[in-house]
Structure 1
């Protein structure tokens, strides 16, 4: 079965104890199997409490984060790269402590718009940093996901093919490609070829609409995408991601340009997304558990 996941920012903008209760309990109530926690600001995270809540609700957990420009592993400044690697290793350790085995997001650059191309020295630093991170993660049983994001959020990789090349250059066997339909809609030529090219190296999927609002109300060709997933016999998580100014995460909301209020009711959004994804997945022949909404 493909676990159906939901991003925590549908529910709350931080990981404080009160927010952890809301995120985990609402995710379960909406019928999801997995919750993705963003570790962009782990200062309020109570790891023991959050892990206990996840276990009580029988939810899987995945984690993700991006980096700021002062901790950019694609920089040519060794101190900047070192700060980024330290934050990524902290995130992997938190993922393990929470009971998770997947850490993804954008571990290869700052999350934001660059005003210049990636330099050769910067790319060498990316490869070296990811090689170190992958080894650190392997010791802790964690897989690293390389999320492919659009040109306005990174200058390192923007397509599935570039992600595959980066993983080849790193040479670690605990790294996978993470595709996101929102980003694919901007950068890829269609929703099929990138999936087929990734094949069994596709390890995580984000389902997001073209405007990051309600699924089915934008321009994404979900039918083609889900049939491509079925064609490669994809068995990994399928996680819904949506952002609205109704839920603000300090820093991250600005990095992602979450300026508009695309929805107010997280539960209505989530239950609609669960039903939409389940219908698309079943229509394509993917194995989805028949529970929840």
Structure 2
């Protein structure tokens, strides 16, 4: 059965946060998975990471690990010293997640976020460097019981690939069971002609779904064609995680980085919004 989750930063203004109180919260609100920021976990002690893994296991939920790689850890960088630094960073994260019991790390695992090409700069050099890196990291993931998902991002946030059609030759050439594509309804709404066709094209390489409405409200409060998406997921027999990433509050580093310049929902009751959305997600995407 498909499992649903929610990203921790729905409740925070800053990326660095205490994940522990969110473990029982998301369970109570109807979710199977809490997605946390793996970059924050990188700064934790091994003991604290294992405590978090135990807390989620005791609560009966899973952890998922989101990531937005910084420019200093860019595995797609033409600067070989930066690429090697990124490889060390990603390898360390994969090993840490493996020791926490394994799972999924996903987001800009294959590139820096956010990043744009300089005027006149070649995109291919970044694609080639990223390919070398991900081929190596896929083997690390295979040894650690970890899935590494590459999120297809919109043109305003990245350039390596913005559509499934662009990403498919990349992931299929590596063809590792531990390397996949993460599709996201927010990004697909900008870049894909058809969300359902994008999902079907991704096929077996689609190992995760991030979701939210077009303006990043919680699932069920907008105009994303959820019935169409469900039919496409069923067509490819998708059984991966479905994690929603709503962002409705301005302010803090989260609001700054996600470009939330207004309160998308005034005076939101965040817990009620999350609970109602969990019910919608199960009814429309799972049951």
Same structural fold, with TM-score higher than 0.5 when normalized by the shorter chain: yes
- Matched residue SS, 1:177: strand
Give, in whole Å, the separation in 1 of the partners of 2:190 and 2:15.
28
Consecutive unaligned residues of structure 2, counting only runs of 5 or more, are: none
Give, in whole Å, the separation in 2 of the partners of 1:142 and 1:216.
30
Task: Tell which deviates more after alignment, 168-177 or 182-191.
Answer: 168-177
Task: Tell me which residue corresponds to 1:266.
Answer: 270
- Matched residue SS, 2:145: coil
Task: Tell which deviates more after alignment, 116-125 or 189-198.
Answer: 116-125
The number of residues matched between the two structures is: 279
Task: Tell me which residue corresponds to 1:109.
Answer: 111
Determine if contact 2:183/2:208 at 8 Å carries over to the other structure: yes
RMSD: 2.0
Deviation, 1:15, is 5.7
Give, in whole Å, the separation in 2 of the partners of 1:125 and 1:56.
41
Task: Tell me which residue corresponds to 1:2.
Answer: 2
Task: Tell me which residue corresponds to 2:20.
Answer: 21
TM-score by length of 2: 0.89
Structure 1 position 245 matched with structure 2 position 249: yes
Task: Tell me which residue corresponds to 1:192.
Answer: 196
Change (3 A) 1:86 1:258: farther
Give, in whole Å, the separation in 1 of the partners of 2:230 and 2:62.
22
Task: Tell which deviates more after alignment, 49-58 or 113-122.
Answer: 113-122
Give, in whole Å, the separation in 1 of the partners of 2:277 and 2:122.
36
**Deviation sequence 1:56-105 (CA, Å, 0-9, x none):** 11111111212122322222111111222222122212322332321111
1:126-165 equivalences in 2 (<5 Å): 126-165=130-169
- Matched residue SS, 1:260: coil
TM-score by length of 1: 0.88
- Matched residue SS, 2:19: helix
Consecutive unaligned residues of structure 1, counting only runs of 5 or more, are: 289-293
Deviation, 1:223, is 1.6
Determine if contact 1:182/1:212 at 8 Å carries over to the other structure: yes
Change (3 A) 1:133 1:247: farther
Change (3 A) 1:210 1:201: same
